[in-house]
Amino acid sequence: MSRFRLLTIPALLLISALTACSVSSTPGGSTEAGGEKSGGPVAIGFSQATQQSPFYVQLREGAEAAAKKAGASLYFADAGGDVTKQNNDIQDLITRQVDVLLVNPVDPQGVQPGIAAAKAAGVPVVTVDRPVPEGAVAQVGRDNKAMGELVGKRLSEALGDKGGKVIEIRGDAGGAVARDRSAGFHDAVKGNPNIKIVEGPYSDYVRSKAVTAMQDLLQVHPDVAAVYAHNDDMALGALQVLKENGKDKVLVAGVDGLMEAVKQIPDGQYVATALNDPLSLGAKAVETVLKVKNGEQVEPNIDAGTALIDKGNAAQYIGDGEFAAAQEK
């Protein structure tokens, strides 16, 4: 995507401004020197936690596509997993005179200075995927506890009365998504007294980190019966290690509906995942942002919905997209 489409600023000044604040933009609107808006399309600032997972890449793409369709400008900043950078990014977006901020927080508590700065500037905030304790007009996401419950129930059924040791590879420390996906899973399997959960390390939803974690965990727990990871990317990393070590009877489950994982389900070792289409989530977030800008009432918590994907229905979700798409009801 070109960084040089806002033609109302002299080229050298534009290059300097974008380099300084590391904020990229999608077409649709313009700003003038010093950040003053020239009127026209709605300006959305999108501060995202990271781009180091396929889910977050697609979340951005969904938001950009929805903004473009609506004729709005979207200014994007990637925090790279650094909450200090995210607070600085939010300040930069405020300086650009955005109408509304869309925030996918690195840390719900750590991003509070940025949220407070937005409030002081009169810029409403909508959060997406990860909520914050206070300061947002609305949170757009999915019920992560329900996702954990769906996958946990299905994995418990697959293990049966024999149960066994289940390694849980967790997302991010202190994050609401990781907390809820863990709580839902634990609630779902507690009815099976023969299942013992081993809580593995936080791997930040990144496959390479899950590979390292699984290699270490397998040395300590060679009798593992199943692995549950807080997203499919980490689950696939665990699956890779299991296959490399001849553990083809160890069951695996994740969350998000990553297509690579969905395609594994018919073979049997990958038991289930939960739908979490990031493209539709990004679009829903932008739809909510535009309603806020127009002064419409929005619910404080907007649930985009989920569903279990297992061997019984995987075929209907398999497609060319990077994630299983949410289906019309």
- pLDDT tens column, 41-81: 999 999 999 998 889 999 999 999 999 999 999 999 999 99
d(CA 80, CA 83): 8
Predicted pLDDT at 23: 66
Distances from the Cα of 297 to the Cα of 47, 59, 286, 288, angstroms:
23, 24, 15, 10
pTM over 0.85: no
User: Does residue 83 share a domain with residue 135?
Assistant: yes
Q: Calculate the CA dihedral of residues 19, 25, 30, 35 and round it to 10 degrees.
A: -40
Q: What is the DSSP string of 46-61?
A: EEES-SSSHHHHHHHH
Average pLDDT of the chain is 89
Same domain (yes/no): 66, 115: yes
* Strand 73-78 versus strand 43-48 pairing type: parallel
| One domain, residues 108 and 169 | no
SS3 breakdown of the chain: % helix, strand, coil, rounded to 5? 45, 20, 35
Among all chains, which residue has been given the structure tokens 């719900």? 108
**What mean pLDDT comes out for the span 133-145?**
96
Q: Say whether both 219 and 111 belong to one domain.
A: no
What are 242-267's pLDDT values in tens digits? 999 999 999 999 999 999 999 999 99
Distance CA 198, CA 179 (A): 15
Using CA atoms, how far apart are residues 130 and 140, in angstroms rounded to an integer? Answer: 8
How far apart CA 204 and CA 171 sit, in angstroms, is 5
First to last CA, the chain: 34
Q: Total domain count for the chain?
A: 2
What domain range includes position 36? 11-141+278-298
* 129 and 207 assigned to the same domain: no
